[in-house]
Amino acid sequence: MPSATTIKLNSGHEMPLVGFGLWKVNNDTCADQVYNAIKAGYRLFDGACDYGNEVESGQGVARAIKDGLVKRSDLFLVSKLWNSFHDGPRVAPICKKQLQDWGIDYFDLYIMHFPIALKYVDPEVRYPPGFTDENGKVTPGKASIQETWTAMEDLVEKGLCRSIGVSNFRAVLLMDLLRYAKVKPAALQIEHHPYLMQESVVKYAQDEGIAVTAYSSFGPQSFLEMDMQQAKDAPLLLEHPAIKKIAEKHGKTPAQVLLRWATQRNVAVIPKSNNKDRLAQNLDVLNFDLKDEDMKEIKGIDKGLRFNDPLNVSHGLLLLVRDNLG
């Protein structure tokens, strides 16, 4: 029997289990990729202001709606609040700018990208944002997570977001947030693949009714083009003997096995591709089940190996951030 295709969020809304991630999607192809993904059946698109392609993503959405492929209500559009906009009064203005870039009235899910506040940099000075300020330095901000979350709760009240969530949080940070949150996080997005399973974080979030979304489901694959030595040194999950063996057994691709490993445990995934066949394959990961022995074998691959480590892109303050990431 086919698995459910959505996760019911604690906010009452339905989130697709399989979506399309917009990280590192080039500006010159982004609109077409979003359009073609919608045409292929994707309904969730996961973006962020620091990806620098929200305008183009919105263009792809607008074209699909204009051509009658979907209605806005058929889509689940996700974006994220960047670190330099954590000060309470900065949250709503940047969210409104992002909505304007997308050409939409609301986000289905708006996520705090990292549990860290950085110095505010005016979008007129630098946009998309990054880890460094206008002087090229990593400068901490003063906003607490509580201040930022309270401002995000106001976005829900104002109708700018239907659900709000967090990303890169460990369980201890979730525990703290839940002490004062008036609006419970609907989702937690984390790096999650067989090299970095984060079982305790996943279990805690799901036990609290917080949906989990995995990014970088293929492990080092996403980081090779960033010339990251850690990714180069790690055997590709898509070529791992255990993954390939399980794929052959089920008549699926290694990518489908990796995605099904997550979705079978009710963890959403957001892969991307500009290849028509792979687009369809990545979406087709809910109509088969891995056996218990398959899941046990994949569990044995875990190395606690994180690739999205701020130390790989910056230093100083981010030494502290690394130890608090989920």
**Distance (Å, whole) CA 311 – CA 321:** 9
The partner residues of 213 in beta bridges, in order of sequence, read 189, 268
DSSP state of 264: T
In sequence order, which residues have a C-beta less than 8 Å from that of residue 269 and are 6 or more positions away? 17, 18, 19, 213, 214, 217, 259, 262, 263, 285
The phi and psi torsions of 76 (rounded to 5 degrees) equal -125, 100
Answer whether 43's CB lies under 8 Å from 17's CB: no
**Distance (Å, whole) CA 167 – CA 317:** 19
**Distance (Å, whole) CA 69 – CA 224:** 34
**Distance (Å, whole) CA 151 – CA 169:** 18
Structure tokens at 23: 């990280």
Establish whether 180 is a catalytic residue. Answer: no
The 3-state DSSP class for residue 267 equals strand
The catalytically annotated residue of 51, 110, 195, 215 is 51
Q: At what angle do helices 145-157 and 88-102 cross, to 10 degrees?
A: 50
Residue type, 221: Q
Catalytically active residues are: 51
